[in-house]
Structure 1
Amino acid sequence: MSSGIWELALDHIGNGVVVIDERETIRLISKRAKTLFRIDDRSIGIGHTLGNFLDCVGRSVGWSAERVATVHSNHRAWKSASEAKDIVHHYDDGTVLRIGYHPKVGDGAVLTFDDVTDRTRLDGLLQNRAVKADLFHAEVHSTVGEIARATRETRERHADVSSSAYETLDRIAELNFAAEQSVNVMHDAAHANQGIQRVFGDVVTGLALVSSETSLALAGAQLGSQTCQRLAAHAQSAGTILDLIHGLAEQSRLLSLNARIEAARAGDAGRGFGAVAQAVKELADQTVQAARRTEAEISEIRHAIAEAVEANRQIETSIGGISRVADTVRLTTRGQQAQVEAISAAIDRTATVAQIMRDNVGKVDERFGTLIETLVDTSTRLAQIDHQVETLVDGAEHFRQAHIAEDGEKRARP
């Protein structure tokens, strides 16, 4: 066998090495090769064949005879084709071997067995950790992106809410001012309405007095008219008596007596007539001389009585009209007084509602003040969240880079 085959074997002497010649006879087998497959020295050694070695390997790893034959056939095919092979094989017990087949034309072949179980596991762990680190980084970026979007949307909504809150606060201030003015106006209106009620009460009372007085005046006018009518009748009688005065002095005295009686019945209105009657009495003895003068005076009295009757009739008519107007005004005023009282009650209710509205607006104003403070605090917290998100992104990137560097160092270790 050439030196090249032995140099190749020496290069892998730290691993399991089997050297076979062209007839597949084992010329060298390292102890490591036997240890890897738990083969004792009596089972295999120099002078045995490749088939013997593969049978031992098959028994060690649990291959069937058919599987062993297939592996042996593969080795012969590689040899015939002078094809080098480097195969990583995973055994059922978890062992991982890197198997190399290095044929040399006309000079046999070298089989190398390198136990890469720990390295494979390490590579798997490192790869799995790298995948998890990438996944963690991706999830952190995704989560951070979602948080950033949510924070941005929240900030935008917060800005809208803050703007609306400030506008609403201004409107509430205006409403509070309007409510305060409304309360003051309602109080002023209630005070003015109380004055109007007092005026209407006085008017109704005055109209009642006017109605009572006009009733009395109407009754007096009616009584005066009746008195004047009686005086006219008496004057008519006195005219008739004057025709008899000349010869009936005694009767004149009697007429004078009657006249005084009638004057007494007429009261104040009959005083003038009483004076005339007294004069008739005094002049009864001078009947003849005074008859003509008395007749003229009686004519004047008749005329005055007629005028008095007409005046009393007009007064009676006027007083009746005044009484009817007073009654109408009184009734109308009572209706208006009832309306004013209803308005007063409505004003009182409105004033109460205005006070309640003012108090409620004040409470809303306080709560909106608290809301504004909360929005300001929320804005500050959103800024803190943004900073923390940036810190989280930087930390995730540093974590990923640290894992990449650590994995590189571990892979670089022999």
Structure 2
Amino acid sequence: MSVETPTTMDTEVDKKKAAVKLTVSRKILLVVFATTLMGLSLLVFLGLQNQRQDLENLAISNNLTITNLMAEQLSGALKWKKPDKIAEVYHELVGNEDSVLADIVTFDSDGNVVTEYKSDSLPTVDIAGDFARLKEGLGDNAAYSEMTGMHQIVLTPVVTPKDELVGYAAVAWSLNRLNDRLSANLMQQLLLTGAALFGIMLLTGFLLNRFIGKPLSQLTGAMTSLANGQQDITIVGLDRKDDVGDMSRAVQVFQANAEKVKALEIQREKDAEEKAAEAESRRQAEMQRAEEEKRRDQEAADKSTAERISFAQAIAQKLETSVNAVAQQISGAAATMEEKARSMVTSAADTDRHSTSIAAASEQAAGNVSGVASAAEELSASLQEIARQVDVSAKLSKETMDVAESTDEVVGKLAVSAGEIGNVIELINNIASQTNLLALNATIEAARAGEAGKGFAVVASEVKGLAAQTTNATEQITSQIDGMQTATTEAVEAVKRIEEMIVRINETVQVMATALEEQNSATLEITRNVQQASASTGEVSRSVTDVSNMAAASGSSANQLLDSVGELTEFSAKLREEVAAVLTDIRSMAS
């Protein structure tokens, strides 16, 4: 058996394939690349996140500090609403080329805009429109800050050194320059990461190719040569102490085994030639045995022919006897079948006649049951509608109960408020009494003063008159409050009575709903029973129709059976004739 050696063209094709295939060293390089890329990407991402957070916190802190300082400087100008003085406070900030101040709006203590500045070079926001929302976030004289995608908005109260609130200052700080700085840092980090990754990959690729890729490629070439039948090859790396050395020694074992296999193939070819000679000699012996067996088979065939003739004659005699007996039995059975068939024709006619009458009665019963089923279904639908209306009434009762409870709470609060008003009126009465007392004292002092106290006496008289009017007014209010409290008490009692009536109505509705559900269940049960009766009646009608059809079919089959009996008698006679002819032929062949 010859071993084909690879041609130069095949070797070049294998080299091209080896150049583009994914080798072990390349796979390791890809794993290292992916791992390094993921690690560096994670480090860059975390670093940028921390840097962004630090810069944002620093910017937020600085912006809050500057805004608070501006608020301290704005207190006097904002108190007297001087726009020029207010503008001088932030003039230097907005005039700086590196300024990130996009909007400044000042408000008085009532929330009205006093001054408003918008930058021409930076994106702005509508602070005045969001003032009410921003003001809700203010604490006790503490600034409020919020971050948007493009700005940091700071709202701070403006107070005087005596802690008097004179207005508010709202500042929108642009984050564009911060975002630009972060984008520049991101690009710088990406470039550094790419350069580091490229250097790592170059070094890793060189080391992998030097210590793994090249030795494995040499071992692959050696194994390919062994597979192609070349045993005279040199295996490198046998002295290495790593996995590559183990692979080299394993390839050496393959080389030794390949030499043994080649020797075994030569021995196998020699053994095959010897076996072919032995097979030829066995074939000649088999041919001689076949000729001998053919001769013996011919002698046995001649003997078997004589035996078959004798056996055929015996079979013909036995067949004649059996066929005659069977023909006689067929004739007797045919006569009996004819008599039964005539009886079946008569019975089928009677069955058809009676089944027609039963079918008519069944159809009438089915119609009556269908009418009852329709009426029961209509009754069930009516009960369901009544149940639905009762359910709606129950829901309305519950809603009315909720409204009554809410009214009870409101009236209760009204009673409490009326009581509080009574307390206030009592306080006013006390004040009026004290005022009367003071007016009396003033009158006495004016009388003691003589002419010098006349003016004071007039004032005391007026105060006394006002105190009297206050007393009269409070008495009238007290009367009205008493009437309102009485009406409130009556309203509370009326609401409670309404709640009790609603509870009784709700209980009655629940009882009605339960009764309707029971009636509806009974009606549904009647409907199901009537429908089942209708279905059963229809089934009976169909069964009677089937019986009628089967009776007609039985009559037809009985008539066909009569015809078949006549044909069977004819076939029996013909069978005797055919069997006689066959027996004649058998006897002639056996003679």
User: Between Structure 1 and Structure 2, whose CA radius of gyration is higher?
Assistant: 1
TM-score normalised by length of structure 1: 0.41
TM-score normalised by length of structure 2: 0.30
- Greater RCO, 1 or 2 (C-alpha within 8 Å, sep 6+): 1
